Structure 1
Amino acid sequence: MVPVFGNRNRERTLMLRALMLVAALLPGAVDAAPRPATGLLAKDGPLPATIPLQIRTDAGHDFSIALSDPVTDAPVISGYLRGGEFFRLLVPPGTHQVTIAAGQPDDWQGVDTGFSDGMQAKLTLDFDIRADRRQGHQMTVAIVDGGLRVTDRRDQVICQIADWDSVQTEYTEGRRTPLRYLDQSLTTRGRFCD
C-alpha cells in the first residue's frame, strides 16, 4: 500500500485557512495601526505652519490632536502625542477647532479613525500673527473623573526679531583706489516673549 501524503497537506491547508478566517472575524482580532512617534501626523492646509501649540500630559494614555476648520470641518493639521512626552506642533494661522482624543496605545486605529474607544475634548482657538508676534497656545490635558479635560491653557507668544548683518569688503585692482562694497542681509530669529 502506498501512503497518500497529498490529502494530509490539503487538510492542514484547509484547517489553517479556516483558523485565519475565524481569527479575522473575532472582535479585537483587527490589527491595530502601528503606534506613531510623537509629532506631526498629517498637514492638509495650504498655509505654512508657523504658530506654536504646546501640550503637556501625564503618562498612561496616548493622545491625538486634530485641528480643523470650525465652519467646514475640513482638516488642517494633526499630530500624535505619546503620554508624558514633550509635544510642540507648529500650526497654520487662523481660527481652528482643536480636537484632542485620548486612548490606550494599543487602541490606535490610524490617522483617519483615531482611537477605537477614546475620550475627546474640543475647543476653538485662534492662532494669529500680529505685527512681530506669533500668538499660539500652551495647555495641559489630563483625564479627570473619567473624562478628558484641558486643565490649564495659556497664550504662548513668539516674538520675531529682525537683524541686519553687514559685511564690508574691500577690492583693489592694480594700483587703483580700493573699492568698498557693503553687503547687507536680513535675518529673522524668534524667541518667547515676556
Structure 2
Amino acid sequence: MMRRLTLAILLVLLALPAAAIDRPAGLMWNRTGLPLTLPLQVKSDPGSDLYLQLSDPATGQAVLAAYVRGGAFFRVLVPPGRWALTFARGRDAQGQDWQGEDGLFGAATEVIALPEPLVFQTEGAARKSGHLIDLRGASPVLRDIGLCQRRALDPETLSGSWARKHPHGLPDPREPGPFTTPRYDLRSHFCDDAG
C-alpha cells in the first residue's frame, strides 16, 4: 500500500510542469537614487506581459525595471532624466514563460527598443511631463502626457481661525486666540498639452 502511494505521488510530481517563477507586478527596482516622480504609462495586449527597463543612453547602464502584466492598466513613476526604454515581451498571460530577469521569457522573448531616448522632466512648479507608450499595435505609439498639480486649501484647518471666531472684525490682540495656519493639500490630475 505504501509503495503504491509513493508511486502515485511520484507520478503526480513528474506530471507537474517545471516550477515557474512567479511573475512580479509593477516597479521591480530603481538604481538611480533619484525620486520617482514623473509619469510613464504603458498599454499592452492581454496575454502579452512586458519587462521594462530604463537605461542611461550614454552608458547603457540599466537604472530602473518594472513588470507590466499584459492588458492590465499600468502606470509607474520614474526619475527625472533622459532614458532609453527597452521592453521584453512574452506571450504567456499565466506567467509560465517568465524565467526571471536573466532568462526573461525564454526563447520566445521579443525585444522592443524605442528608437530614441525619452525625456522625463518637471516644467515649472506645477507640471510633470512624462509619456504614454501604446504597444498594442504593430509598432509602438508614443504620446506625451503631463501630471499637473495644484494646491487646494484644506477647509478643516480653518476651524480655529480668527475669521470664524471674529466674523465682524479683527480679533483683540490682547486676547489669546487659536490662530491656525491654513494647510494646503497637493492635488494631481492628468492634463493635456495645454496644461
Q: Matches of 2:60 and 2:18 in 1, distance apart? A: 28
Q: Please name the residue that 1:158 is paired with.
A: 147
For structure 1, the residue ranges without an aligned partner over 5 or more in a row are 1-15, 17-22, 24-28
Cα RMSD, aligned residues only: 2.7
Aligned-pair distance for 1:163? 3.1
Structure 2 match to 1:64:
51
Alignment match, 1:188: 186
Identity of aligned residues (%): 37
Distance in 1, Cα, partners of 2:177 & 2:28? 54
When structure 1 is superposed on structure 2, of 54-63 and 110-119 the one drifting more is: 110-119
**SS of the residue 1:111 aligns to:** helix
2: CA distance, partners of 1:62 / 1:180: 56
TM-score, structure 2 normalization: 0.71
The residue number in structure 2 matching 1:102 is 89
Aligned equivalents of 1:180 and 1:84: distance in 2?
Answer: 53
Code of the residue aligned with 1:120 in structure 2: it is: V
Q: Say how many residue pairs are matched.
A: 161
CA contact (8 A) 1:41 1:111 kept: no
How far apart, in 1, do the equivalents of 2:178 and 2:28 lie?
A: 51
Contact persistence 1:95–1:127 (CA under 8 A): yes
Q: Which runs of 5+ in 2 are unaligned?
A: 1-9, 166-173
Q: Which of these two proteins has the greater Rg computed from alpha carbons?
A: 1
Q: For 2:68 and 2:147, locate their aligned partners in 1 and report how far apart those are by CA, in whole Å.
A: 22
Question: Which residue number in structure 1 is paired with residue 118 of structure 2?
Answer: 125
Matches within 5 A, 1:4-19: none
Q: Is 1:54–1:139's contact at 8 Å kept on the other side of the alignment?
A: yes
Output one character per residue of 1:167-191: Cα deviation in whole Å (capped at 9) or x when no partner.
Answer: 24469xxxx7352513133432111
Contact 1:45 1:75 in 2 (8 A): no
Match of 2:3 in 1: none
Corresponding residue to 1:114 among 104, 110, 114? 104
Corresponding residue SS for 1:108: coil
What amino acid does structure 2 have at the position aligned with 1:142?
R
* Counterparts of 1:178 and 1:35, CA distance in 2: 60
Please identify which structure carries the higher strand content.
1
